Amino acid sequence: MIYLFTTPAVSLWLNGLLERYPPLPVAKLADVDAIVVLGGGKKVAPEYGDDEPVADTLIRLRYAAHLARVSGKPVLVSGGAPNGGTPEGRVMAESLHSDFGIRPRWIEEGADTTADNARLSAELLRRDGVRRIALVSQSWHLARAVPAFAAQGLAVTPAPTGYVRYEISGARLWVPQGRAMQECHSALRELIGIGYYALRHH
């Protein structure tokens, strides 16, 4: 059983259950008022002397910056500090500006969960009359995040990034990889989270 969760084949299957949204056509950005990008984690980075975004967060920030550049729409970054340190929203704002040249209009830094991201971000956006958003996160995360934001009364256009894909095929998909193990872990966590969310709202 452990072996299976180290293989790209199983990673692709599990993530296929979650990747419900196709890539966002650029033309759809005309239908939104703002771009919301969710935090995917931060880490202590002694070489920088402060917390820095982890790889998942950087993938999201890069895509949000791309969407902001092609659309001119303002950006909200969202993420708290459930384990202490600098709030993730602040870390994301600094990276979005210094690494990608985009300064966010809103910084949400109190959220500990995806549900918190939705509730607290919606509060900030409503103050400025924003109700239509493009929601940026990993493709496997949006299956849970989109309903959470929609439940706050926002019109949500999914903007997925970080699809799980491999350049290999055939028997090589059954050769264990550390990357596949991490992707299986993320997918299983999301599937459990979706089940928990469904139970709490029924």
Topology classification of domain 21-163: Rossmann fold (3.40.50)
| % of the chain beyond a pLDDT of 70 | 97
What's the token pair of residue 153? 């009364």
Asked if residue 17 has pLDDT above 90, the reply is: yes
Q: What is the mean pLDDT of the chain?
A: 94
DSSP per-residue letters across 167-201: S--GGGGGS--HHHHHHHHHHHHHHHHHHHHHHHT
Angle CA(61)–CA(162)–CA(77) in degrees, nearest 5? 25
Q: How far apart are the first and last CA of the chain?
A: 32
pLDDT (tens digit per residue) in 94-137: 999 999 999 999 999 999 999 999 999 999 999 999 999 999 99
> Residue 82: beta bridge partners?
none
Which residue ranges make up each domain of the chain? 1-19+167-202, 21-163
Q: Model pTM? A: 0.93
